[in-house]
Structure 1
Amino acid sequence: MRLVPILLACGAAVSPAFAEKVFPAKLAGHAMLPAFTLVTPPADAPRDLWMSGKFTGKTRNDALMSVEGDVGKAYGGHKTGVSLPFPGQPVQGMSGFAMNRADDGSWFTLTDNGFGTKLNSPDAMLYFHRMQPDFASGKVERLQTVFLRDPDHKVPFRIANEATETRYLTGADFDPESIQFLNGELWIGEEFGPNILRVAADGRVLSVHPTVLDGAVLTGPDTAGTAVPAQPGKDFRVQRSGGYEGMGLQPGSNLLWAMLEKPLLAENGQPEGEFLWVMTFDTAKADWTGDSYRFRLSDGATAIGDFNFIDDTRALVIERDNGEGDAAHACAEGATDQSGCYPQPARVKNIVLIDTGTVDPEGYLRRIGHINLLDIADPDGMALAGMKPAEGNFTFPFFTIEDVARVDDTHILVANDNNLPYSGGREIGKAANNEFILLDVAELLAAK
């Protein structure tokens, strides 16, 4: 989900600069799902959901594909060539890979809340997919889409489609950002609560679990029941768009390690430091364990994008800044014409290997090292046509990179959330596609 970044205040605790081993990455495959890819709603969905994006402006808009998206003034105001509202639902915002794959080897992934906020997404349906990238053809096949619904009234608050029989969920209800597949069910971490959802394979919500840290329920500005006016840091501690962007499933224990996307707020309303809380949830008991840990962000990073284990204790975490676009095309300092450049190019896009079995006295998980997604070797020319810089290595310079998982002993799979129609990153004036990259990172995966 793309929102205006919240900068860390000068008064917040600052993590010390630290040197960390950077491992090499080589592009081993590149595939793409076109940005403008839509899915038809189920036949029993309310007619309101057959056109999405009607509420993304200041007033309702029923004129199909009449308003072109752009990346926002802070990012140069570049148009993206894709217009709202959509005739159907967008297959966009790939936001999390499940560690366990389907029987046919396809990947479980999900689309996030729709258009970025609770207010503008009441006609954006929520769903997860099974996707299969084909690196020989460079295409990604969507094998299945499953729509989330609450026919059994498990959601403890009023939903947008409360009065319907099917009770399909929308981006006004939840913002799903992370997913795991276990014993035929899905566990989904979402940002508005933040909550963990237990979901049947057919999309039915089985239970909803609010977040508990140190015995207290965590809430945010979009949590059901948060009343306005509300004082950040006192009435709620979770930043907007700061819930579960990553949620790893630990092999063996089947614990969910739910990591917040952004730092919690202190009582003064400012971020409490450059670290993120991680809480563990027992899937067998369907309850929080009471254990919590800290993940330290590196210099320049503001958030994380995904979190997946590669063995019993080691895991991969995507950390990122709020930049978008290749730094080779950065705007000159003070440039007033930003139509052909990136005013906030990507600077920090890392995949970090951590060890959850090693925790320091302050609760910080050990960082082993990382790869730099802005410096990927491509000696075999695996990048799709027109997507490799004229000079230098291949880059993955997207605003939100929200999917990572281990493929085998030497490879990982990475994908971006393209925030359709609000993100570019690959090419100025063009909406970002959903790109899947296969990376050879043998040294990273072997590191202890």
Structure 2
Amino acid sequence: MRLRQTAQGLAASLLAATILATPAEADQRFPARLAGHALLPAFSLHLPPADAPAEAMMSGRFAGPGNLRNDRPMSVMGTTGALHGNRATGISFPFIGQPLQGFSGFSRSRAADGSFYAIIDNGFGNKRNSPDALLLFVRVMPDWASGAVDVRERIFLRDPDRVIPFRIVNEGTRERYLTGGDFDPESIQVIGDTVWIGDEFGPYLIRATLDGRVTGLFETMLDGQVLRSPDHPGLVQPAAPGRDWRVPRSGGFEGLAATPDGTRLWAMLEKPILTAEGQSEGRFLRVLEFDTAAGRWTGRSVKYALEQGATAIGDFNMIDATRALVIERDDGEGDPSLACPAPNQPRPDCFPNPARFKRVYVVDLAQTDANGFVRKLGHIDLMDIADPEGLARVETAANPPLRGRFTMPFFTIEGVVAVDDAHILVNMDNNLPFSSGRRLDRAADNEFILIRAPELLAAR
């Protein structure tokens, strides 16, 4: 028996070595196995800085119907919205304090203690409903043994030196803390003692210090022209798509990747931009190169093709000098086994728009075709992760129940980074209090997932 097991183990090792050494096909699927699962509870609140405006002690005032101010704490029940059946999530707002949610991207580099830098997004989803949500980035460390997430530091963004050239929500204050009414930060890279943040409203690149002080703001340039979204502060209404703005709303810099030497950033837009006629230029995204030392766009760009079934990307991070990880996703949430019979007739016991396409791709920016499209080397499926050890800490609503298998059935999966040669870390933005996914009747927690995927990371 032992000899037979040894022979089987040798065969498996040889097969794994062969897979690692073989060039990947464009859409080759690699295996993925759950190696760790940690959660920060959905209802996690924290205090604003002591010198922030007093109104920051409450958040979500404008996140209800009509974006009209509501000063009654916990008076409006969060729901999943029309796209996902308007199911109640069990958490009401406005909040006393600031919610710790909206994890939207990891930095490739880590802090000295090994913790991960992560960006927090604009608050409640758009510019109108988030002027009382303070912007920040954090240092977090998942504990895979206990399943807890240690938030080791919260760094609030501020502009005391008046670097930002347009009026901000906290314009007349001393520290000028930034809010979700000013920017929508969705991606982050820390290079030495400098923090770079990708924004969706401009879209802009924001440069800051490790203690959150803004030191630079950079317009987006493509082919010598400024790229703007409908939320750009310089836009004058009425504005024509394609002429006055080419980046769709919520289509700015969802991904921001840094080369290992820190000399270049690659910024990826979340959605296809528009042509001069106001139409989408195709099912692909622009990826633009930025020189960090010079503080300017180099003029180089590549194209990233979206797969059928994907509507956007969630994050983008370099593995090495040319290869990168990219999350592609659809807009669905919830396990497909509980799909509503009629999507236009939602019920409380089913998902009208379930999650179907959630993947992590590895691409090579140095390999482009004649049309400038980067080569995809393969992917893992986040809706089909092996869990033979039963490491999942939260049960997923599914029929039949998941056994030995783990999924990420979330609307917005927005963080990915390589941990070592065999593992990646993935997390999601839980859109508190508006998304569920894991359960039908409960707001999603902030989940951090460690995935073993050595073949994906070795693909070339």
Which residue of the other structure, out of 88, 110, 124, is the alignment partner of 1:115? 124
Q: Which residue of 1 aligns with 2:452?
A: 440
Which residue of the other structure, out of 393, 410, 414, is the alignment partner of 2:422? 410
Deviation at residue 20 of structure 1 after TM alignment:
1.2
Instruction: Report if aligned partners of 1:94, 1:112 keep a CA contact under 8 Å in 2.
Output: yes
Whole-Å Cα distance in 1 between the matches of residues 52 and 298 of structure 2?
38
Task: Establish whether residue 138 from structure 1 lines up as the match of residue 147 from structure 2.
Answer: yes
Gap change, CA 1:198 and 1:172, over 3 Å in 2 = same
Q: Which residue of 1 aligns with 2:179?
A: 170
Q: Which residue of 2 aligns with 1:4?
A: none
SS of equivalent residue, structure 1 residue 63: coil
Deviation at residue 334 of structure 1 after TM alignment:
5.9
Q: Using structure 2 for the length normalisation, give the TM-score.
A: 0.92
Gaps of 5+ in 2: 1-24
Q: Which residue of 2 aligns with 1:150?
A: 159
Q: Which residue of 1 aligns with 2:263?
A: 254
Give the letter for the 1:419 counterpart. Answer: N
Q: Which residue of 2 aligns with 1:48?
A: 55
Q: Which residue of 1 aligns with 2:325?
A: 316
Gap change, CA 1:427 and 1:168, over 3 Å in 2 = same
SS of equivalent residue, structure 1 residue 100: strand
Percent of pairs identical after alignment?
Answer: 56
Task: Establish whether residue 338 from structure 1 lines up as the match of residue 338 from structure 2.
Answer: no
Whole-Å Cα distance in 1 between the matches of residues 253 and 184 of structure 2?
9
- Tell me which stretches of 4 or more aligned residues in structure 1 moved more than 2 Å: 267-270, 333-337, 385-389
Q: Which residue of 1 aligns with 2:363?
A: 354
Q: Which residue of 1 aligns with 2:37?
A: 30
Whole-Å Cα distance in 2 between the matches of residues 395 and 413 of structure 1?
14
Which residue of the other structure, out of 409, 418, 424, is the alignment partner of 1:397? 409
- 1:397-436 deviation line (CA, Å, top 9, x unaligned): 1000000000001000000000001111110111111000
SS of equivalent residue, structure 1 residue 65: coil
Q: Which residue of 2 aligns with 1:76?
A: 85
Deviation at residue 385 of structure 1 after TM alignment:
4.1
Gap change, CA 1:234 and 1:199, over 3 Å in 2 = same
Instruction: Report if aligned partners of 1:388, 1:394 keep a CA contact under 8 Å in 2.
Output: no
Q: Number of matched residues?
A: 431
Whichever of the two has the greater Rg, that structure is 2
Deviation at residue 387 of structure 1 after TM alignment:
4.0
Whole-Å Cα distance in 2 between the matches of residues 387 and 348 of structure 1?
17
Give the letter for the 2:28 counterpart. Answer: K
Q: Which residue of 1 aligns with 2:213?
A: 204
Give the letter for the 1:420 counterpart. Answer: L
- Which structure has more helix as a fraction of its residues? 2
Instruction: Report if aligned partners of 1:374, 1:395 keep a CA contact under 8 Å in 2.
Output: yes
Whole-Å Cα distance in 2 between the matches of residues 381 and 254 of structure 1?
42
Give the letter for the 1:47 counterpart. Answer: A
Instruction: Report if aligned partners of 1:94, 1:109 keep a CA contact under 8 Å in 2.
Output: yes
Whole-Å Cα distance in 1 between the matches of residues 360 and 415 of structure 2?
10
Gap change, CA 1:117 and 1:334, over 3 Å in 2 = closer
Task: Establish whether residue 300 from structure 1 lines up as the match of residue 312 from structure 2.
Answer: no
Instruction: Report if aligned partners of 1:388, 1:395 keep a CA contact under 8 Å in 2.
Output: no
Whole-Å Cα distance in 2 between the matches of residues 162 and 121 of structure 1?
16
Instruction: Report if aligned partners of 1:306, 1:318 keep a CA contact under 8 Å in 2.
Output: yes
Instruction: Report if aligned partners of 1:351, 1:372 keep a CA contact under 8 Å in 2.
Output: yes
Q: Which residue of 1 aligns with 2:20?
A: none
Whole-Å Cα distance in 1 between the matches of residues 184 and 88 of structure 2?
25
Q: Which residue of 2 aligns with 1:425?
A: 437
Whole-Å Cα distance in 2 between the matches of residues 105 and 363 of structure 1?
36
Deviation at residue 312 of structure 1 after TM alignment:
1.1
Give the letter for the 2:210 counterpart. Answer: A
Q: Which residue of 2 aligns with 1:8?
A: none
- 1:155-211 deviation line (CA, Å, top 9, x unaligned): 010000001111000001000000001111210000000000111011100000010
Stretch moving more, 18-27 or 45-54? 18-27
- 1:367-400 deviation line (CA, Å, top 9, x unaligned): 0010000000000111104248513521001000
Instruction: Report if aligned partners of 1:403, 1:414 keep a CA contact under 8 Å in 2.
Output: yes
Task: Establish whether residue 219 from structure 1 lines up as the match of residue 231 from structure 2.
Answer: no
SS of equivalent residue, structure 2 residue 109: coil
Instruction: Report if aligned partners of 2:26, 2:375 keep a CA contact under 8 Å in 1.
Output: no
Give the letter for the 1:53 counterpart. Answer: G
Whole-Å Cα distance in 2 between the matches of residues 256 and 126 of structure 1?
22
Whole-Å Cα distance in 2 between the matches of residues 250 and 194 of structure 1?
21
Gap change, CA 1:239 and 1:88, over 3 Å in 2 = same
Deviation at residue 266 of structure 1 after TM alignment:
1.8
Whole-Å Cα distance in 2 between the matches of residues 86 and 247 of structure 1?
30
Instruction: Report if aligned partners of 2:187, 2:197 keep a CA contact under 8 Å in 1.
Output: yes
Whole-Å Cα distance in 1 between the matches of residues 330 and 83 of structure 2?
14
SS of equivalent residue, structure 2 residue 386: coil
Whole-Å Cα distance in 1 between the matches of residues 125 and 177 of structure 2?
19
Q: Which residue of 1 aligns with 2:15?
A: none
Q: Which residue of 2 aligns with 1:272?
A: 281
Deviation at residue 253 of structure 1 after TM alignment:
5.5
